[in-house]
Amino acid sequence: MKIVDTNKISNSFILKLSILVIMIIIMFTMIIPFTVKASTSANNLRTNLLYLQILNYSVPSAKVSTLDPEDMVENTFSIKNSILNFLGINVNEPDVIISKEIACAKNSEVKTIQYKSNIDSYQLAANEVIKNSDDSSVAVNAVVTPTQVPKVTDGKPQILIYHTHTGESYLPGKPDNEDQTQNVCAVGDAIASELQNTYGISVVHDKTIHDEVYNNSYSRSSVTVDKYLSQYGDFKLVVDLHRDSSYDGKHPESVIINGASAAKTMFVTAKNNPHYQKNVDVVNKLISILNKDFPGLCKGNLEYNHGIYCFNQTKSNNSVLIEVGNESNTITETKTTGKFLAKVFSEYINSNN
């Protein structure tokens, strides 16, 4: 006859129950901050993603995936990172981990980046379209030799610049900032000013805020693009100017060109676009000019099998999405890159006249 040790069973049950309770406490500890911060749409998205990931991990057969693809394309949220953050471990800030383990390292300066989403309402106002903007803050030693200045015919703008994620910003400010002297709008200003003042190319630079509700950004910016295509017809370049949101903390995201530090740039294309190849042809020509004039500035072309609204690249064969720098770059570095991109755009337009 087998004797059952009830004490062992009881202890085992208590141990399992304790572990379950601890896991529930940790889970609620992670959920509460998301709920409190859910005053912005971006945080609401992260909250929904947390619940979905918990359900998918707990009940694989359910496999919930009801969010719009637009909600997921640039999401970097994960349960693993949430648990690590709860334990005070940030894999992107190894200096903080070291300072906790080595006392003498605590005197080192630790730079903390805070995120903010507090942007004005979406609108299409005439005063948000610029025809000129003098930008004297771009590095003076970033020498660019002008190409032959083309003629502007009939006053028709040749380039449209807009920003689907208008709040994407740079140092020394916060990564998400409504101040248009610190975000991607400032880079657009630098490009537009250089194109118009140095190369004689007429530009429409639209600074409409599209990302107040982040997961509706592309549907909102598509309205802006349609507005200008209806008003002017097609452009020689339709540029959606972004900032890269990913940074591993290891690889440099700037390069010294002509004595100035410039933020690296990258193109993004969507393969689900019916005229994808025509857009890629434009991107490849621009990359070729970039590599010739400014070696090391361009990181290439990142291709998505599925882009939200095809990143609006269905609107024109000349549509391109360009990311200038990331949250580790300064606004001065990105404006310098803007000055270089203006030269590249002018060469591209001249070569296709």
Confidence label for 236 from pLDDT (cuts 50, 70 and 90): very high
Q: Work out the average pLDDT over 10-25.
A: 77
Confidence label for 138 from pLDDT (cuts 50, 70 and 90): very low
Confidence label for 33 from pLDDT (cuts 50, 70 and 90): very low
Name beta bridge partners: 159: 203, 237
Confidence label for 160 from pLDDT (cuts 50, 70 and 90): very high
Confidence label for 21 from pLDDT (cuts 50, 70 and 90): confident
Closest by CA to 157, choosing from 231, 227, 210, is 231
Q: What is the pLDDT of residue 249?
A: 67
Average pLDDT of the chain to the nearest whole number: 74
Q: Tell me if 186 sits within 8 A of 339, measured CB to CB.
A: no
pLDDT for 134 beyond 50: no
**Is residue 172 reached through a cis peptide bond, with omega within 30 degrees of 0 on the bond before it?**
yes
Q: Work out the average pLDDT over 228-248.
A: 92
Tell whether pTM > 0.75.
no
pLDDT for 319 beyond 80: yes
Q: What is the pLDDT of residue 193?
A: 97
* Most confident stretch, 5-19, 29-43, 277-291: 277-291
Which domains are present in the chain? 6-107 (no CATH), 126-351 (3.40.630.40)
pLDDT for 268 beyond 50: yes
Name beta bridge partners: 161: 205, 239
Q: Work out the average pLDDT over 233-257.
A: 88
Residue pLDDT, tens place only, 36-67 = 333 333 444 444 544 445 544 444 444 444 44
- Residue/partner pairs of 348-351 with CB below 8 Å, 24 or more apart: 348/236, 348/237, 348/282, 348/285, 348/286, 348/289, 349/150, 349/158, 349/159, 349/201, 349/236, 349/237, 350/147, 350/148, 350/150, 351/285
pLDDT for 148 beyond 70: no
Name beta bridge partners: 268: 302, 321
Greater pLDDT, 97 or 276 = 276
Q: How far apart are CA 347 and CA 335, in angstroms?
A: 19
Q: What is the pLDDT of residue 1?
A: 52
Q: What percent of the chain has pLDDT over 70?
A: 59
